[in-house]
Amino acid sequence: MKDLLRKYSGPFSGMFAHWIQRSTGLLLLFYLFLHVRTIYALSQGPAAFDRAVGQFRGPFFKLLEIALLGAVILHALNGVRITLLDLGLPHQRQRRLFWTWSIGLGALIFLAGAIPLFLSSVLRR
Amino acid sequence: MPAFWWYLQRLTGAALALLLIVHFWVEHFVSENLRRGDLTYDAIRTRISNPLWQTIDIAFLLIALLHGLSGARNILLDYSRIGRRGARIATAGFIVVGAVWAWWGIEAFKDLR
């Protein structure tokens, strides 16, 4: 019983990964709404579109874009983890897989994308 | 088949992972301007005037909507007690939202064809 409680409660259980998946999923859906809203300006001609994307050129939005990259990577890698578990990967490994695959590998890919993005679009060097 | 949406969520998820890598590549890495984060109307017109790219982008949107709205529906049904009738009404609502959203995105390309 104690083991079970430890396994299924607290921040380090599969529940944590589940909440991450749901919250990043909703955030990405909200982003898709903003994205289509901006892209729709394409139908109003070049001036309207360049004005629409121009809103997002400041360093603040570039930082949000880097955060978006993080949310995408977390959601995608964790989604692959869920699919692999569904396909038959042993469930005893689900937690370790979360920390090594979703968080560990995710952090590496995130840094590989975030550092160049930060240098080129936030600092503009 | 009750697990249909459950399977579809995995399939669309896998497709989105691949499409997103392509999308990220063509919008952020293929030219000096894009690497700086400066996307322009002309850059998009050049790409979208190609029917293949247009098909890929529209398919990307439709798959993303299917995946995202299906996920949002799962969340709603998990945390609410709206019953079977309520769930059917919610599903109909999500379908309408998805259809309008898809039309909105596809219309964006109407001058670029």
Give me the interface pTM, i.e. the ipTM: 0.94
Closest to B37 (Cβ–Cβ): which among A32, A41, A62? A62
Range of the domain at B111: 83-113
Q: Which residues of A touch B20 (CB under 8 A)?
A: 72, 76
- CATH number of the CATH domain containing A116: 1.20.1300
Residue A20 C-alpha, separation from nearest chain B C-alpha, in angstroms: 13
Q: Which tokens hold the place of A6?
A: 């430890």
CA distance B77 to B86: 9
Alpha-carbon gap, residue B63 to A79, rounded angstroms: 15
Provide the pLDDT for residue B70: 96
| Chain B nearest CA to A111, separation (Å) | 15
Give the model confidence (pLDDT) of B32-70 as tens digits.
888 777 888 998 999 999 999 999 999 999 999 999 999
Q: What angle do CA A39, A40, A46 make, to 5 degrees?
A: 80
Contact B109 A42 (CB under 8 A): yes
SS3 A70: helix
Give B64's DSSP letter.
H
Question: Are B17 and A124 inside 8 Å of each other by CB?
Answer: no
The answer to whether position B96 is within a domain reads yes
Question: How many domains does one find in chain B?
Answer: 1
Q: Which residues of chain A have pLDDT under 50?
A: none
- Residue B85: exposure state from Cβ atoms within 10 A (0-12, 13-18, ≥19): exposed
Instruction: Specify the number of domains making up chain A.
Output: 1
Q: A16: domain range?
A: 2-122
